[in-house]
Structure 1
Amino acid sequence: MNLRYLRVLPGVEYSTTPAAEPEGQDGVLRITVAAGEQVPRRAEGVTLRRGLRYHEGLRLDLHTPTAPGPHPLVVYLPGGGFAVAPRAMARRERAFIAASGYAVASVQYRTTRQRATYRQGLADAQAAITHLTGHAEEFAIDPERIAVWGESAGGYMASLVGLKDDRIRAVVDKFGAADVSRLADGFDRRMRTFLDDPDHAVHRYRAAEANPADLAHSGAPAFLLLHGDDDRVIPPAQTLELHQALRAAGADSTRYLLRGAGHGQLALSGQQARQWTSLQVMTLIRDFLDRHLRG
């Protein structure tokens, strides 16, 4: 369990029961993850630049391969319940993707702690992309091949950026929200009360017009959606709703449901959390990026 992440993320609550997966599973791939084989803690052949300023005092961390570029760009948007956006999150996973030949930037964006809404967060993510592509030669980036990737609140942000920014070719959304009006569907009464509170950060940050499930369109980039069927924080129905909306619009969407997996590093056990840092899951993400940024 990532205890450092838990310390900076306020107000984490869990449902006592998992939410049942709803009907409508066309194109959903259920997998059992072998969590024993993990991505390396240290990746070879990559360089990390920390704390690069990009917009109004915000910073990003950038992994780049030591091999000559230009390299496709993957912009990682960290989760944090819309209250924080710690750019140090998922460092080993980001390094794994970078070692596969990608420039990977982890981007800090404004949250409710800065009294921001999704509008400022979206503007920050887009400003980071503009900054990085504006320094494409310096960072050995190919500005024509860009993906966004995030988890939880960052997964929501990645989907929002992908559906609103035509520079994006591919989106990886790990257990992100897609429809604020149904965020507590299937959870216990206490969790529903917690999530329905109008003072909850999700309601202060998001708005109905910013639901990714309502923004799906035929020209959307390719999507890879991943969720655990034992997620007690964001119900799996959220990524399913987005998947169905994308497919109905004629967009390319692939969704994996991980048996027994929880909410990333906020899962109920270390075994659940290790599914998300497994070589198996990270290879799925790498192969998806290869298809859509290199194919």
Structure 2
Amino acid sequence: MRSDRDLKAHRRARTIAVAAVLLAGLSGCAGAQATAGAPEPRAAASASPRPIAVVVERGVEYTRAGGEALLADVLRPDRPSAARLPAVVYIHGGSWRRGTREQGHELLPQLVATGRYVGLTIEYRFTPAFSWPAQLHDARAAVRWARAAAGRYGIDPERIAVWGESAGGQIASMLGTTDGDAAIEGDLPSPQDPRPPARPLSSRVQAVVNFCGPTDMEAFFASASTPEEIAEMHGRLDPLFNGPPPERADLVRSASAIHHVDARDPPFLLMHGTRDEVVPYRLSEAMHRALLRAGAPSVLVPVAAWGHGFRGAEIDRRVLAFLDRHLWSAPIVVSSEPVRAERTPD
């Protein structure tokens, strides 16, 4: 049995040990390095950084067409990983006749929350009031605007990607495969940078993501077989081309990205549902082959056993990997293995 003196000494030693542990914990919270090899699961959890928040600026005018403003929403990380970030311009779908820039808010926040990207989701002119190539002119004006506003939004003007779905994918693919032609570029005004650029602003993009967008408009029109499908196809494309596609063959061909492919094209990521009954999967297969034959980088990712429009965590990861590889030069191999969708777009 211990004496009173031994008990007092034991208690004093234990008090000193507890105080030392508490002091060490406070020092760790203040930023001191932990002892090498010491387990610190609680300290690691408490020291983890807060998630990056997405700051949204809505309704920014990026150009004017026919006296009316065309608007974009800008999504930025509150803690960017660099002073200048790549930008991703999102173009929504809707058969060229409907849709809103709000659709981009379903996909862009996942990219922006990494701290590595600025997102822009745009509106564009619809049919039947505006026929092709008004939609492409709008998208090109948006890319030029992103470059003009690079300083304001922390954008690297040399790293701009475009991401489109369905009709937006067709527009995005045309952005990627056409460049420098005045008829394709359009003449919509661009915002003026406080310091005039040394050379005219370019609408060239450095990467393209196409979700189930038609890249061969002739083959797209011909894919309709039943009377109902043919009627629906005419409803989509007659207003776009200001007449039935067979009667507007030159314009239809000029709106087909597959006919503009060459070795100078930026990298493409094509994602497409293998059971798409609106835009056949084989159109993306043909575009992929055409890009590779021309010497342009392309990855085709099938969305297994899925139709038109898709969402899913693995789909998000595949897009992020592609953009990181081509806009951040990350040493990543972007897999072409099929992915599974989890749901259709909201």
**Is the shorter-chain TM-score for this pair beyond 0.5, marking a shared fold?**
yes
TM-superposition CA deviations, 1:218-242 (whole Å, max 9, x none): 0100000010011111111111121
Q: Is the 8 A contact 2:218 2:256 kept in 1?
A: no
Q: Is the 8 A contact 1:81 1:201 kept in 2?
A: no
The residue that corresponds to 1:87 in the other structure is 101
Q: Is the 8 A contact 2:147 2:155 kept in 1?
A: yes
Q: Is the 8 A contact 1:184 1:234 kept in 2?
A: no
> Aligned equivalents of 1:196 and 1:138: distance in 2?
42
- Residue 269 of structure 2 corresponds to residue 224 of structure 1: yes
TM-superposition CA deviations, 1:16-36 (whole Å, max 9, x none): xxxxxxxxxxxxxxxxxxxxx
> Aligned equivalents of 1:143 and 1:292: distance in 2?
14
Specify every segment of 5 or more residues in structure 2 that has no aligned partner in the other structure, as ranges. 1-50, 180-202, 244-250, 330-346
Larger radius of gyration: 2
TM-superposition CA deviations, 1:261-284 (whole Å, max 9, x none): 1111xxxxxxxxxxx321100110
What's the % identity of the aligned pairs?
32
Deviation at 1:113, TM superposition (A): 3.8
> Aligned equivalents of 2:239 and 2:286: distance in 1?
22
> Aligned equivalents of 2:217 and 2:223: distance in 1?
14
Q: CA RMSD in A?
A: 2.0
Matches within 5 A, 1:12-27: none
Q: Is the 8 A contact 2:122 2:142 kept in 1?
A: yes
> Aligned equivalents of 1:132 and 1:258: distance in 2?
31
For residue 233 of structure 1, the aligned residue among 259, 278, 284 is: 278
> Aligned equivalents of 1:95 and 1:245: distance in 2?
32
The residue that corresponds to 1:246 in the other structure is 291
Counterparts in 2 of 1:172 and 1:61: CA distance versus 1, 3 Å: same
Counterparts in 2 of 1:135 and 1:291: CA distance versus 1, 3 Å: same
Deviation at 1:48, TM superposition (A): 0.8
The residue that corresponds to 2:32 in the other structure is none
Q: Is the 8 A contact 1:61 1:106 kept in 2?
A: yes
- Residue 154 of structure 2 corresponds to residue 131 of structure 1: no
Counterparts in 2 of 1:109 and 1:186: CA distance versus 1, 3 Å: closer
Q: Is the 8 A contact 1:74 1:103 kept in 2?
A: yes
Query: What amino acid is aligned across from residue 73 of structure 1 in structure 2?
Result: A
| Greater RCO (CA < 8 Å, at least 6 residues apart) | 1
Query: What amino acid is aligned across from residue 204 of structure 2 in structure 1?
Result: R
Deviation at 1:196, TM superposition (A): 5.2
Normalised TM-score (structure 1): 0.76
Query: What amino acid is aligned across from residue 174 of structure 1 in structure 2?
Result: F
The residue that corresponds to 1:54 in the other structure is 62
> Aligned equivalents of 1:181 and 1:191: distance in 2?
18
Query: What amino acid is aligned across from residue 161 of structure 1 in structure 2?
Result: L
Specify every segment of 5 or more residues in structure 1 that has no aligned partner in the other structure, as ranges. 1-42, 265-275
The residue that corresponds to 2:185 in the other structure is none
Q: What is the total number of aligned residue pairs between the two structures?
A: 241
The residue that corresponds to 2:120 in the other structure is 105
